[in-house]
Structure 1
């Protein structure tokens, strides 16, 4: 029996992935969401464990890691995220989109690294093809100069890809990592953005050409359920399951390492060799 942790599990593709995994196997599912009522309701439905954490509060991420540290984690699916208006600065002092989509998942991996390596765990990141629209800058890593909320989301999704690459370089085969684009999914991920993006995701166009949350959840479940080296290759970003996705030209080894170091300094964390 595997222990699988899914963040962003209270709605959207996280919720649907949890349901699919529950139907297929007897895995020990640990569902993490910021909405306590929704997370508990899904956990009760699936006979899973529920944990509540708001990634806009890094202390809650640390508390989450403390609760998870003694669990035999086989898969950590960093799926929580969203698109937000801004710039908004969190209580921790970071730009909201960058914190929720990237810094918080990075901190969670750091706090659980020993636990993950003990099980040769898989770390899956829900990224996005929006990484192609990023305007990355190591000098302005949070994108606060000339801020644009859509670029901020792209920057954060590129950061997911870079983190996947650097964790692979540093820690494979003790852990295996991959990131993926779930598809254009009609979910509530842009619910906190008062923008054309929110209108787009609610539009008839997305309903016509996009995929359902269930289909997006199926893509997440595919990578959670897969075997590194067979189903997918560690360190890679995928666009449609077995097809490697296009990434921003910035996604090179030296940039991934530099980006990793800057974010670690922002968080005040150090990583073991």
Structure 2
């Protein structure tokens, strides 16, 4: 029975994936921000709930400790938690909210779970919005830039992709990322780009359901012979914009420095 940890699993793609993994017989850890929603998803899936707010890095550290003790071997880690926020905000850790929730937190969780991930599959939910992202290693928190919520989201997703590519080089895991397509979800719950559209009637006609959005995630979790560090969109491997081994190494090391981690795996 494989052990699967899914973050951002209290709603949307994560919740749909949790139910699908559980139906396949996996032991599933449902990780979410809301205790009530997370518990409800876990209960419906016959899974175990874990609560953490990725806007608080101490929550992430505590989650890693708990998961590491509960699951000495994790077969699949799905880094799915994320959001897009209408206005710039700073977390209690001093980081810009979007980059912390979408990138710093999953980077930290993955690194802290290293002892449980040998031979694992690590799947990260990214986005084609990464194409408008820009990585400034000297200002990952965008303190100098004019805040644009969609660009910040794109930057965080570009960071996810570059992290995945470097993770595949450094760690004894199979790491891939993917674009789920447009999905009816509460990703834009805090406002910002497309917030009103996602809640509209039209969205339900043109966007995928969470179950449809979870389909590529399920495939990537178990597919064999995946290219190391690959980015998938529309079921195919694509070369992401901004891919550069030197930048990927530098981003990994700079992030480790900001989070107080050693640069290696």
TM-score clears 0.5: yes
Q: Deviations over 1:68-91 (max 9, x none)?
A: 113121110000001012210000
- Aligned pair in 2 of structure 1 residues 214, 8: CA closer, same or farther (>3 Å)? same
Q: Deviations over 1:156-185 (max 9, x none)?
A: 0000000001111112xx111000001100
Query: How far apart, CA to CA, are the structure 2 residues paired with 1:205 and 1:136?
Result: 33
* Selected match of 1:264 from 248, 256, 259: 256
TM-score norm. by structure 2 comes to 0.95
Aligned to 1:56: 55
Structure 1 position 246, deviation (Å): 4.5
* Selected match of 1:177 from 175, 178, 196: 175
SS for the counterpart of 2:78 is strand
Aligned length: 262
CA contact (8 A) 1:166 1:260 kept: yes
Equivalent runs, 1:2-81 vs 2, <5 Å: 2-23=2-23, 25-70=24-69, 71=71, 72-81=73-82
Structure 1 position 93, deviation (Å): 0.4
1:220 aligns to 2:212 (yes or no):
no
1:238 aligns to 2:232 (yes or no):
yes
Any stretches of 5+ residues in structure 2 without a counterpart? none
CA contact (8 A) 1:73 1:115 kept: yes
Which region of structure 1 is more displaced relative to structure 2, 253-262 or 130-139? 130-139
Q: Deviations over 1:136-158 (max 9, x none)?
A: 22232222311211110000000
- Alignment RMSD (CA, Å): 1.4
TM-score norm. by structure 1 comes to 0.92
Q: Deviations over 1:178-198 (max 9, x none)?
A: 0000110011110012x3420
- Aligned pair in 2 of structure 1 residues 7, 196: CA closer, same or farther (>3 Å)? closer
Structure 1 position 116, deviation (Å): 0.6
Aligned to 1:247: 240
Any stretches of 5+ residues in structure 1 without a counterpart? none
Query: How far apart, CA to CA, are the structure 2 residues paired with 1:190 and 1:245?
Result: 25
Aligned to 1:125: 124
CA contact (8 A) 1:8 1:81 kept: yes
* Selected match of 1:187 from 179, 185, 188: 185
SS for the counterpart of 1:69 is helix
Query: How far apart, CA to CA, are the structure 2 residues paired with 1:203 and 1:132?
Result: 25
